[in-house]
Structures are given as structure tokens and as C-alpha cells.
């Protein structure tokens, strides 16, 4: 079985080299980079759209739309004025650093201030594949229930910023958003938790502060 272990070790090493290269490329060009992770329907795309609308044209935003197939999110980014690249994984349920590295070649990095990488909708395996970004952000929706953090601790352990989205629906569906908030802060006592409604544009100011983004 040791051969299997060596192979896995080599794969992990090349993964982390790709991730390091991505981060070097982005930071040397002054591009702030964020990996946006969360389940399908949690509001990843809407959050990026809302940020783009609220920052306005003085901050140039780029996005990689990571999806198994299709271009729905890519099309939404383009409509929001975001420089976007569509990254279809053709079945793979997470992005990896090599795929992201290839996508970076299709983006006008020198013009960008911020790059969002929207990971494949999945709260499990994206946690195992660092992409080479400045910061990893997890977004959950109150519609996913109160137990999301305690069910998927690995995902939340590696992020220091949790967005709890669709907060406007919490009362309607009878979910207490304090429960995932407290669970997260137990895992990450220094972490930030933002309550947001990407659809209504609430919580975005707090998110900008937590992300250390200056709006103009």
C-alpha cells in the first residue's frame, strides 16, 4: 500500500505547487483573490453580483465561474459587468489549483483589483483542494438548516469568514441563524460571521469590512 501513499503524496505536492504559483501570480499583480465555497443554491453567484454592483466601476472585478457544466453563472457575471471565465469541470465536483491556473491565463489580470473564484456547489471536497487564493470564504444559506457547520466542520475549519445568507428568510422558515454562527465561532474563535441577504443587498457593508475591501 505504500506505493499508493507515495502517489497521493506526489499529487498533493504538485497541487500545492500549482496553488502557490496561482497566489504568486495574483499577488504580484496586486489582485486580491477569494475562493467562494458553498452548496448549490447558497447564493455564491448572487453574492459576487451584489459585491460588483455595490463597489461600482472604479474597482475592477473578475470571476471564475466554476461549475460541472453549463454557463449560467458565467452569463450572470458578464451581465453584471464582471470580467469572467467559464470553468467547466466536466464532472469533477470541485475546482483544483491546476484548473484555476489555466483559467487565470484567460483573464485580464493586470486590469483586475479583485478576483472571485466561485467553486463548484459542494460543501465537502473543495475543502481538500487549495486553489492559491488570499482568503477562503464559505457561504451557507439559512434554508440549508441549522446544522451545516457541525455536519461539515472541515470546510469551516479552513475558512475564517462565514457568510450566512438569505437571512431575510430565517424567521419565515423557522431557522435560528445564531446556531451556525455559534458553531462556527467555536471552531474559529477569531473568525468573522456575516449575516447577509445577497438578494436584498443587506450585510454587504459588513462583508466589505471583513474582506478589507475599500469601496469608492
Q: Which does 125 bind (CB under 5 to 8 A by kind): Zn ion, Mg ion, none?
A: Zn ion
How many CB atoms lie under 10 A from the CB of residue 17?
14
For Mg ion, which is the closer residue by CB, 15 or 131? 131
For Zn ion, which is the closer residue by CB, 125 or 179? 125
Q: Which does 45 bind (CB under 5 to 8 A by kind): Mg ion, Zn ion, none?
A: Mg ion
Q: Which does 44 bind (CB under 5 to 8 A by kind): Mg ion, Zn ion, none?
A: Mg ion
CA triplet 71, 206, 79: central angle to 5 degrees?
A: 25
Least distance from C-beta 90 to Zn ion, angstroms? 12
Least distance from C-beta 133 to Zn ion, angstroms? 17
Task: Give the residues lining the site for Zn ion (CB under 5 A).
Answer: 93-94, 125
For Mg ion, which is the closer residue by CB, 104 or 120? 120
CA triplet 140, 143, 144: central angle to 5 degrees?
A: 60
Least distance from C-beta 96 to Zn ion, angstroms? 9
φ and ψ at residue 178, rounded to 5 degrees: -70, -25
For Zn ion, which is the closer residue by CB, 125 or 199? 125
The three-class DSSP label of residue 183 is: helix
Q: Do 62 and 109 touch, CB atoms closer than 8 A? A: yes
Residue with the CB atom nearest Mg ion in the bound state: 45
How far apart CA 26 and CA 192 sit, in angstroms, is 24
Task: Give the residues lining the site for Mg ion (CB under 5 A).
Answer: 44-45, 73
Q: Which does 196 bind (CB under 5 to 8 A by kind): Zn ion, Mg ion, none?
A: none
Least distance from C-beta 59 to Mg ion, angstroms? 21
Cell of 160: 475564517
Least distance from C-beta 182 to Mg ion, angstroms? 27
Q: Do 85 and 130 touch, CB atoms closer than 8 A? A: no
156's CB contacts (< 8 A; 6+ apart) are 138, 149, 162, 183, 184, 187, 188
For Mg ion, which is the closer residue by CB, 166 or 188? 166
Amino acid at each position: 500500500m505504500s506505493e499508493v501513499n507515495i502517489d497521493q503524496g506526489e499529487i498533493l505536492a504538485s497541487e500545492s505547487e500549482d496553488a502557490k504559483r496561482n497566489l504568486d501570480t495574483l499577488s504580484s499583480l496586486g489582485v486580491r483573490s477569494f475562493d467562494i465555497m458553498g452548496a448549490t443554491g447558497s447564493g455564491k453567484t448572487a453574492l459576487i453580483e451584489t459585491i460588483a454592483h455595490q463597489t461600482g466601476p472604479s474597482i475592477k472585478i473578475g470571476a471564475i465561474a466554476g461549475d460541472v457544466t453549463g454557463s449560467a453563472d458565467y452569463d450572470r457575471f458578464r451581465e453584471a459587468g464582471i470580467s469572467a471565465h467559464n470553468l467547466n469541470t466536466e464532472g469533477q465536483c470541485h475546482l483544483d489549483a491546476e484548473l484555476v491556473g489555466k483559467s487565470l491565463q484567460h483573464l485580464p489580470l493586470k486590469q483586475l483589483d479583485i478576483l472571485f473564484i466561485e467553486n463548484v456547489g459542494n460543501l465537502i471536497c473543495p475543502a481538500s483542494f487549495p486553489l492559491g487564493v488570499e482568503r477562503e470564504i464559505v457561504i451557507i444559506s439559512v434554508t440549508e438548516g441549522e446544522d451545516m457547520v457541525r455536519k461539515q466542520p472541515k470546510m469551516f475549519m479552513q475558512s475564517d469568514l462565514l457568510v450566512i445568507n438569505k437571512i431575510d428568510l430565517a424567521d419565515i422558515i423557522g431557522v435560528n441563524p445564531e446556531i451556525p454562527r455559534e458553531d462556527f465561532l467555536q471552531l474559529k474563535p477569531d473568525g468573522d460571521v456575516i449575516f447577509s441577504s445577497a438578494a436584498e443587498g443587506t450585510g454587504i457593508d459588513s462583508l466589505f469590512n471583513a474582506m478589507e475591501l475599500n469601496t469608492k
